[in-house]
Amino acid sequence: MNLPIDPESIKGFLREDEGACLYRHAAEAACRGVCLEVGTYCGRSATYIGTACQAAGGVLFAVDHHRGSEENQPGWPWHDAELWDDEAGALDSLPSLRKTLRRAGLEDTVLPVIGRSSIISRVWRTPLSFVFIDGGHTMEHALNDYRGWVPHLIPDGVLAIHDVFPNPADGGRPPFEIYKLALRSGLFEEVEAVASLRVLRRISPG
């Protein structure tokens, strides 16, 4: 894996070993179809996945409303005042993402889709070979992401989920809950686990 820029220079919440794991699975999946992530923020995961897509001649759609999750709002531990847009009176991580994509030379590979994940998944029509869920952490958002994007995955497609914490003391439940739903559905088998990242593969029928 050869990243064009230092991932630690991008604001974000993904560990290096998790990024490397995403890179490996995206490199394979990008040869079989289009990749998509939910929750892009300033583009750290998009740089790992996008670099893999670029090498394979594929693309990554990067879905985010760029207004931040609950835990990114003022007063929360993961709030970053540098991303505040005074005029909007809201967080705006899009300018930072654009800088990342330009610096990384990924503007023709990582295609930002700006809006709420549940609206975009509802009208989405392109089959996906790779979906990475790293968006809102409430049960509502996690369930919407799972239910909204899984139907777009092709057989053998990869479903990766971040912030899966089997032990409640380590973090919130919703990503773990949709991970369990995926396994219980019989549609997926687990292929890899790195830190809080889980990688599942959609079982092909027959």
Residues annotated catalytic, as ranges: 137
**Residue 103, contacted partner among Mg ion, ligand SAH, none, CB below 5-8 A by kind:** none
CA dihedral for 156, 134, 151, 183, sign (positive or negative): positive
33, 50, 136, 148: which one binds ligand SAH (CB under 6 A): 136
Site mask, ligand SAH, residues 50-89, x = CB under 6 A?
-------------xxxxxxx--------------------
Candidates 12-20, 101-109, 151-159, 197-205 — which segment interacts with ligand SAH by CB under 6 A? 12-20
Half-sphere exposure (Cβ direction) of 80: Cα atoms closer than 13 Å: 15
Question: What does residue 37 show for φ and ψ, rounded to 5 degrees?
Answer: -125, 150
**Residue 93, contacted partner among ligand SAH, Mg ion, none, CB below 5-8 A by kind:** ligand SAH
**Residue 163, contacted partner among Mg ion, ligand SAH, none, CB below 5-8 A by kind:** Mg ion
Work out whether 39 is an interface residue with ligand SAH (CB under 6 A). yes
Compute, in degrees rounded to 10, the torsion defined by CA atoms 17, 149, 107, 80.
-60
Largest pairwise CA distance in the chain:
55
Question: Which token pair is 139?
Answer: 């049960």
- Nearest residue to ligand SAH by CB is 12
**Residue 66, contacted partner among ligand SAH, Mg ion, none, CB below 5-8 A by kind:** ligand SAH
Q: How many CB atoms lie within 10 A of CB 102?
A: 10
* Complex with ligand SAH: residue 118 or 129, whichever CB lies closer: 118
User: Residues of 122-159 as b/e, b for ≥16 C-beta within 10 angstroms?
Assistant: eebeeebbbbbbbbbbeeebbebbbebbbebbbeebbb
Candidates 15-23, 69-77, 151-159, 160-168 — which segment interacts with Mg ion by CB under 5 A? 160-168
Binding residues for Mg ion restricted to 5-24, rule: CB under 5 A: 13
Report the distance separating Cα 197 and Cα 161, nearest Å.
Answer: 6
Binding residues for ligand SAH restricted to 167-186, rule: CB under 6 A: none
DSSP code for 86: T
Residues within the interface to ligand SAH (CB under 6 A): 12-14, 39-41, 44-45, 63-69, 93, 116-117, 134-136, 141
